[in-house]
Amino acid sequence: MWAWLHRLGSPKRFYGWSGALARWAGWGSLLLGVAGLYYALFASPPDYQQGESVRIMYVHVPAAWLSMFIYMNIAFASLISLVWRMKVADMFAAASAPIGAWFTFLALVTGSLWGKPMWGTWWIWDARLTSELILLFLYLGYIGLLSAIEERDTAARAAAVLALVGVVNIPIIHYSVEWWSTLHQGATVTKFEKPSIAWTMLRPLLLMALASTLFYIMVALRLARAELLRREADSTWVRELIDGHQGGGNR
């Protein structure tokens, strides 16, 4: 099992399978995203309390989900890179960070755009909003740390430690609406209970969440692959790749 994982994580192998995976994730994301948008904007009912503003949820919740999911991916990849010194894990974590920062930003702003008409305020300093803002700072800190340290392996190790320390913030974000009083509504979809949301609204929500997850996988893999080629430019397999592509396209 570990030997197998190690082989998959070797630069040459990774380059091979990640290309195919990125392509499939991209097309899957497009397909699910189009269906999700159709249900989100046309084929789902307005909320009985929130009216049409509930449609913000189909952007906001997937963005918020991704902000945490990407962070967990970075933390997991960081752990692997610290323990097994797997270069590919470093590159995947580094590639994930800007995507995570963008989606955290999107979650915060769409939250604001939803909060104004529903709560009457753009922002409150409650636990949920504050911990999500801290998540954005964690992403920015991670990116800053990576670029601030000259020596690549030291930078990767420092950033990995930061990512692992920051993991504390994730359960805080998740449980903040239960632990502290807030204007923010509780979770609508949990793993263990029946979701407290009608299927007509759950359908676009799940489609959009899945589409954004696939989108993230596609973008992160492509960024990691580009970085991998840059670092491995002198290795035999990259040379062979270049020869195979002379005169051809970019793939």
> How distant is the alpha carbon of residue 10 from its chain centre?
23
Contact pattern for another protein over residues 57 through 76, marking x by CB under 8 A: --xx--x-------------
Do 156 and 90 touch, CB atoms closer than 8 A? yes
When asked if residue 240 is in the footprint of another protein (CB under 8 A), the reply is no
DSSP 8-state code for residue 51: B
Burial of 77 (0-12, 13-18, 19+ CB in 10 A): buried
Burial of 81 (0-12, 13-18, 19+ CB in 10 A): buried
- Please identify which residue in 144, 195, 229, 237 interacts with another protein, judged by CB under 8 A: 229
SS3 content of the chain, % helix, strand, coil (to 5): 80, 0, 20
| Coil vs helix vs strand at 47 | strand
Least distance CB 61 / another protein (angstroms): 11
Q: Which of 243, 248, 242, 232 is nearest to 14 (CA)?
A: 232
Least distance CB 222 / another protein (angstroms): 4
Q: Kindly tell me which of 52 and 153 has the beta carbon lying closer to another protein.
A: 52
Q: Kindly tell me which of 85 and 116 has the beta carbon lying closer to another protein.
A: 116
Q: Kindly tell me which of 75 and 223 has the beta carbon lying closer to another protein.
A: 223
Residue type, 195: P
Give one DSSP letter per residue of 225-243, joined into a string.
HHHHHHHTTTSHHHHHHHH
- What is the footprint of another protein within residues 35-54 (CB under 8 A)? 41-42, 46, 51-53
Q: Using CA atoms, how far apart are residues 104 and 60, in angstroms rounded to an integer? A: 10
Least distance CB 41 / another protein (angstroms): 8
Least distance CB 8 / another protein (angstroms): 21
Contact pattern for another protein over residues 89 through 128, marking x by CB under 8 A: ---------xx--xx-xx--xx--xx-xx-----------
Residues that bind another protein (CB under 8 A): 41-42, 46, 51-53, 55-56, 59-60, 63, 98-99, 102-103, 105-106, 109-110, 113-114, 116-117, 215, 219, 222-223, 225-227, 229-230, 233, 238-239, 242-243, 245-246, 250
